[in-house]
Amino acid sequence: MTSDAILSWHDYFLCVATVGATLAGLLFIALTISLQHVLSGMGYLSRAFAALFLQFETLLVGLFGLVPGQPVWLLGVELIATGLAILAGIMVFASNFREDRSSVLGSTWPHRLRVVLVGIGTLLPAVAGIGLIADMPWSLYLLIPAEIAGLYLSIGNAWVFAVEIPRRAAQKNA
**136 domain-assigned:** yes
Tell me the C-alpha to C-alpha distance, in Å, between residue 41 and each of 93, 165, 167. Answer: 15, 9, 14
**173 domain-assigned:** no
**174 domain-assigned:** no
Rounded to whole angstroms, the Cα distance separating 152 from 174 reads 32
Q: Looking at this protein, which amino acid is placed at residue 64?
A: F
Domain total of the chain? 1
* Stated length of the chain: 174
pLDDT digits (tens, 9 = 90+) for 135-167: 998 999 999 999 999 999 988 888 887 777 777
**134 domain-assigned:** yes
pLDDT digits (tens, 9 = 90+) for 15-53: 999 999 998 888 888 788 778 777 776 677 888 889 999
Which has more confidence, 45 or 86? 86
**138 domain-assigned:** yes
Residues 27/157, Cβ–Cβ less than 8 Å: yes
Kind and range of the H or E run holding 145: helix 143-159
Q: Is 101's pLDDT higher than 70?
A: no
Instruction: Please report the pLDDT score of residue 93 as a whole number.
Output: 87
DSSP 105: T
Tell me the C-alpha to C-alpha distance, in Å, between residue 23 and each of 19, 97, 106, 116, 160. Answer: 6, 23, 23, 20, 14
Q: Is 120's pLDDT higher than 90?
A: yes
Name the residue range of residue 95's domain. 3-167
Instruction: Please report the pLDDT score of residue 119 as a whole number.
Output: 96
Lowest mean pLDDT among 17-21, 47-51, 60-64, 122-126: 47-51
